[in-house]
Amino acid sequence: MKNSVNLGFIGISGRGSGMLKELLSCDGVKVPAVCDKYEDRALNGKKIVEENAGYTPDVYLDYKELLKRDDLDGIVCCTTWITHARIAIDSMRAGKHVAIEVGGASDIEECWEMVRASEETGKFCMLLENCCYNRSEMALFNMVKQGLFGEIVHMQGGYQHDLRDEISLGRENRHGRLYNFQMRNGELYPTHQLGPISKVLGINRGNRYISLVSMASKARGLHEWIVNNKGEDYDLANYKFNEGDVVTTMIKCANGETVVLNHDCSLPRPYSRGYRIQGTKGIYMEDGETIYLEGISKENKEHWTHTWEEFYDDGYIDKYDHPLWKKYRQDGIHAGGHGGMDFLVLSAFVESVKVGSQPPIDVYDTATWMAITCLSEQSVAMGSLPVPVPDFTKGMWIDREPYRRGQFCLEEVCTDCFSKEELE
Ligand SMILES: NC(=O)c1ccc[n+]([C@@H]2O[C@H](COP(=O)([O-])OP(=O)(O)OC[C@H]3O[C@@H](n4cnc5c(N)ncnc54)[C@H](O)[C@@H]3O)[C@@H](O)[C@H]2O)c1
């Protein structure tokens, strides 16, 4: 295992700036090359490295030039949704491991190309799905693995985030989301909850998604926000956005479970990923942070009713904290992004680059989760017809090579990989 790694960084807008700082705080990371197609953003990347790491990286406007370097072990890519897959493919073909920010695929073929590039080069591609490393998602994963929910039957989740300003002002802010909402209609951002759901369901390892259907509501939210905030004369005031305000997708698994995903970013609402886990012994629901476990939660005997408990206030989160979070909290959470999960997902990638193999979210996971976007667009376009989900493992899901165990593992909770002191 290497002690230090050299990583190139591509895409330095809002997200990239934050992730670059987090990356520089990971143990043994050097970033000698930064890139954005906008010069001011590329130069901002240089400044971030100088201020946070004390050296000056080389600056690129063309990522293909950056990929020609032979001193890079890996690439972190925080560009727009429609560029992730091609940059990932080019990075692997240039001999570098790659991590890409989250987003959905535009086309099923680019998912297959990522898989082929990884298989042919031996380089890995990891989707930086930070929600897999969120504290409550990890504690819930721990509880699932301990059997507290029984056999899992149904799961739900979504990206429910009022982004009307960020989307509508996409041109003024040079931001990538606007054009997607103008021209596409489907589950544009599936992975924040699909990542943790897939790991609970063992997708690509003993289970797989077989088909989906998607339905989109009418699109009204962006129009109303634009008229109210930019006025009737603004050139997008009468634009007919394609993306429905609420897109609902239902996915069926080979082992019989169902998954419901919601994409909901253009109506006023507080943020929620609406996580729900439901099994033969109980249920958890993020909205309200409530949980009910048969035989464990208090019952109201008088009225024969099941009673919700609080996931946080009734102590579940502390009792079932994942060892990684116990360790992380004990270290003192030093990196701020999204409560710590950004630091953890980057640390997982860095650890895999140091070891040189098998990240906890691999190219099969990346392709499967990203593919939901273009498949859902097809289903919506065909009046919610069912669409098959490809098996990117080409049959290996029934008998895969063993996963790499470790502190960042997302297939099981590897408590034995932590020292006694780390778990205190
Ligand atoms: N995981 C999370 O919690 C989280 C949070 C926010 C954003 N994101 C994701 O991070 C990504 C970036 O988000 P953002 O808000 O910064 O988006 P953005 O559109 O503001 O920035 C994307 C950047 O990529 C650059 N870029 C695009 N194509 C390029 C190319 N070919 N070469 C070099 N640079 C290129 C653009 O110039 C821009 O600076 C998106 O996928 C977004 O969904 C994830």
Strand partners, 154: 258, 278
- In the chain, pLDDT over 90 holds for what percent of residues? 92
Query: Are residues 83 and 181 both part of a single domain?
Result: no
DSSP alpha helices (H): ranges in 204-340? 221-230, 316-319, 323-331
Query: Are residues 258 and 285 both part of a single domain?
Result: yes
- In the chain, pLDDT over 70 holds for what percent of residues? 97
Cα 158 versus chain centre, distance: 11
Band (424; pLDDT cuts 50, 70, 90): confident
* Residue 61: CATH number of its domain: 3.40.50.720
Count: domains in the chain = 2
Q: What are phi and psi of 34, to 5 degrees?
A: -125, 155
Residue nearest (by alpha carbon) to ligand 1 atom 27: 79
- Summarised one tens digit per residue, pLDDT across range 253-308 is 999 999 999 999 999 999 999 999 999 999 999 999 999 999 999 876 666 678 89
Strand partners, 214: 249
* Ligand 1 within 6 A of CB of 159: no
Query: Are residues 120 and 136 both part of a single domain?
Result: no
Between the CA of 84 and the centroid of ligand 1 the distance, in Å, is: 9
Query: In this structure, is residue 234 part of a structural domain?
Result: yes
Query: Are residues 300 and 401 both part of a single domain?
Result: yes
Per-residue confidence (pLDDT) for residue 254, from 0 to 100: 98
Query: Are residues 110 and 215 both part of a single domain?
Result: no
- Summarised one tens digit per residue, pLDDT across range 35-94 is 999 999 999 999 999 999 999 999 999 999 999 999 999 999 999 999 999 999 999 999
* Ligand 1 within 6 A of CB of 241: no
User: For residue 341, which atom of ligand 1 is closest to its CA?
Assistant: 3
User: For residue 63, which atom of ligand 1 is closest to its CA?
Assistant: 32
Query: In this structure, is residue 303 part of a structural domain?
Result: yes
Per-residue confidence (pLDDT) for residue 216, from 0 to 100: 98
Pick from 80, 87, 194, 345 the residue to mutate for probing ligand 1's pocket: most ligand atoms within 8 Å of its CB: 80
Query: In this structure, is residue 164 part of a structural domain?
Result: yes
Query: Are residues 55 and 98 both part of a single domain?
Result: yes
pTM listed for this prediction? 0.97
Query: Are residues 145 and 117 both part of a single domain?
Result: no
Between the CA of 317 and the centroid of ligand 1 the distance, in Å, is: 32
How many other C-beta atoms can be found within 10 angstroms of the C-beta atom of residue 299?
Answer: 13
Q: Domain range holding 302? A: 132-322+362-417
- Summarised one tens digit per residue, pLDDT across range 172-228 is 998 889 999 999 999 999 999 999 999 999 999 999 999 999 999 999 999 999 999
Query: Are residues 61 and 192 both part of a single domain?
Result: no
* Residue 224: CATH number of its domain: 3.30.360.10
* Ligand 1 within 6 A of CB of 344: no
Query: Are residues 115 and 190 both part of a single domain?
Result: no
- Summarised one tens digit per residue, pLDDT across range 325-367 is 999 988 776 656 678 999 999 999 999 999 998 999 999 999 9
Amino acid, single-letter form, for residue 31: V
For the record, the structure tokens of 275 come out as 């996580």
